[in-house]
Chain A
Amino acid sequence: MTADTTPIATLSNVTKRFGGLVAVRDVSFSLKPGEIVGLIGPNGAGKTTLVSLMAQTLVPDAGEISFMGRSLVGLPAYKVARLGLARTFQIVQPFPKMTVLENVQAGALFAGASPSVADARDRAMECLEFCGLAQLALSEASSLTLPNRKRLEVAKALATRPKLLLLDEVNAGLTAAEVDRALELIDALARRGITILLIEHLMKVVLKACARVLVLHQGALIADGTPREVVHDKAVAEAYLGSRFAHALSGKTPGAAA
């Protein structure tokens, strides 16, 4: 542990099984305040499960999760949200019949602990401006385009006044230009002092945004380091490409992979 500040969140030996499948296996790491950490891994690696475990929408079978010095295991998910740990959903989850503003207002009213509905409205408007959705405030949430729905997820989470934000593939399905705009938003969030765990498929995003990357493979954490270290890690290459191609790569014959 080289951390000179106390971690905001710590996972120790967290395991989650679904029947015979071990979705998350003995995972340990901690996040320092203000960090932007990437969490990558092939499909089915257990990334979303890990997010659900941290938000306590799933309860771990073993291990300990603490957030700001408090154990989260067994705490109801709504209390975790009120403590300042927010998540977004990979498959966006708006309240379809509400306006964009009302969606965010709900977050401010409950986990954000606004004293009144009117105050929640003001705070929601700020969040929408921050996320670039202000001009769509009065549209119905179900009418939004995918990039804007992803932004709405972020705005809702932001309204809960998070200290730690788990962004579950907020860039999936976006075009390159849209990803660039999403990156700016992530940067802006980090500048507000929010610690971010960025679950990502796109290496480009991770390399740009994160100083540290965690790699999950078949439920286990196989790498934890700077993006450069992780990209050159043999185990990571094997997880993504299979051992044959990984060997071929390390043999400096990239043509063999084609």
Chain B
Amino acid sequence: MKRTGGLLLLGLCAVVLVALPFTSSNYIIRLATFAAMYVALAASWNVIGGMAGYPSFATAAFFGLGAYGAGVVLSKTGTFLVLGWLCGGVAAALFALLVGPAILRLRGHYFAVASLVTAVVLREIINSATNLTGGGMGLNLPPRISDVDLLARQYYAVMVLLAVGAVGAGVLVSRAKIGWALRCIEQNEDAAVVLGIDTLYYKTAAFALSGLIAGITGAVYATWIGYIDPTDVFEDILSVKPIVMVLIGGLGTLYAPVVGALCFLLLEELVWRNILSFHAGVLGLLIVALLVFLPGGLKDLATRLPWARRSPAGEAVRS
């Protein structure tokens, strides 16, 4: 029963995703493209942050490196877009493989701070490598199609595919041996070691996969927007948003990146449109409130809302 319900939901989502570009305005398409990008970033964070329990703030580093990796390759060689995107992803993954073995020995807050610094360092490097990256002037990546409507739909399709791939990768990882290792590491790393789990190897692999996904996302973003500069693509908030999304969606679940990213974007857009002057503040307050009252994510709504308390199990969930 549950399985058919899930399949129906998946089918419905697929229909909506396919129908959207043919029926919607460019505004909606742009919003949906951002939604897909958020899903991909949240899914990227979920691999290292959710599954392995390592609170990574390196998403901005991966995203920026991906954007610049693709940007530099495409502007210097003029090769195929897809090849450029892959270069961006691979650059971020290699960076994760390089830095991971060093910082993944740290735990908790120490790891969080170390991962946060990676973006700062990369931003400075990109800033000073002026002949390659344009430095603070940024990098122009002119679109290859002039039709605005078509361009919007093209990037919508690419981002959606990327999001589906990212979430799919999460599902595959959680079912494979590496998924077992990450769950053990998340719950008790010392116990994991004595069961023969090479923890550093699996953590690094998870970090690299997170880097690959966020890197490709950054690369696609770069060519979609057409212009990148170091302060934009290495912005700290890019590391924070995916974490908030997964927390809203419910830490420790595979659907969290999807549910959380969509809710986050909806909130962001509503607040932005209605309270322009103080939108960041209001959004911050809303997020704090959500996390305080629904620490397990939106699924806690079922037990928290007064009208939902009379759950099918028939028990009063008053604490």
Mark A residues whose CB is within 8 Å of B. Answer: 55, 57, 76-79, 81-82, 86-87, 89, 93-98, 105-107, 109-113, 117, 156-157, 159-160
Question: Chain B residues near A82 (CB, 8 Å)?
Answer: 196
| B195 lies within 8 A of A81 (CB) | yes
B187 CB contact (under 8 Å) in A96, A113, A157: A96
Question: Chain A residues near B191 (CB, 8 Å)?
Answer: 89, 93-95, 156
Cα separation A86 to B194 with both chains bound (whole Å): 7
Question: Chain A residues near B199 (CB, 8 Å)?
Answer: 78
Smallest CB–CB gap between B200 and chain A, Å? 8
| A77 lies within 8 A of B194 (CB) | yes
Cα separation A76 to B190 with both chains bound (whole Å): 13
Contacts A110-B181, A117-B177; A160 near B190 (Cβ below 8 A): no
Q: Which of B41-86 touch A at CB < 8 Å?
A: none
Q: Which of B181-217 touch A at CB < 8 Å?
A: 181, 183-184, 187-188, 190-199
| A94 lies within 8 A of B188 (CB) | yes
Contacts A93-B188, A94-B188; A55 near B180 (Cβ below 8 A): no
Question: Chain A residues near B195 (CB, 8 Å)?
Answer: 81, 106-107, 110-111, 156, 159-160
Mark B residues whose CB is within 8 Å of A. Answer: 177, 180-181, 183-184, 187-188, 190-199, 252
Cα separation A107 to B196 with both chains bound (whole Å): 7
Question: Chain A residues near B180 (CB, 8 Å)?
Answer: 105-106, 109-110, 117
Q: Which residue of B lies closest to A113 (CB)?
A: B196
| A57 lies within 8 A of B183 (CB) | no
| A93 lies within 8 A of B190 (CB) | yes
Known: A57-B190, A57-B193, A78-B199. 10 other contacts (CB 8 A): A78-B198, A81-B196, A86-B194, A89-B191, A94-B191, A95-B183, A95-B191, A106-B184, A106-B197, A117-B180
| A112 lies within 8 A of B196 (CB) | yes
Q: What's the A-B contact tally at a CB cutoff of 8 Å?
A: 72
Cα separation A157 to B194 with both chains bound (whole Å): 8
Which residue of A55, A97, A159 has the most chain B CB atoms within 10 A of its CB atom?
A97
Question: Chain B residues near A87 (CB, 8 Å)?
Answer: 194
| A97 lies within 8 A of B194 (CB) | no
Question: Chain A residues near B188 (CB, 8 Å)?
Answer: 93-96
| A109 lies within 8 A of B187 (CB) | no
Question: Chain A residues near B193 (CB, 8 Å)?
Answer: 57, 77-78, 81
Question: Chain B residues near A55 (CB, 8 Å)?
Answer: 194
Question: Chain A residues near B190 (CB, 8 Å)?
Answer: 57, 89, 93
Smallest CB–CB gap between A143 and chain B, Å? 15
Smallest CB–CB gap between A10 and chain B, Å? 21
Cα separation A77 to B188 with both chains bound (whole Å): 15
Question: Chain B residues near A160 (CB, 8 Å)?
Answer: 195-196
Question: Chain B residues near A96 (CB, 8 Å)?
Answer: 187-188
Smallest CB–CB gap between A124 and chain B, Å? 11
Cα separation A79 to B187 with both chains bound (whole Å): 20
Smallest CB–CB gap between A87 and chain B, Å? 6
| B196 lies within 8 A of A97 (CB) | no
CB<8 Å pairs between A and B, sample of 5: A93-B190, A95-B191, A110-B195, A111-B195, A112-B196
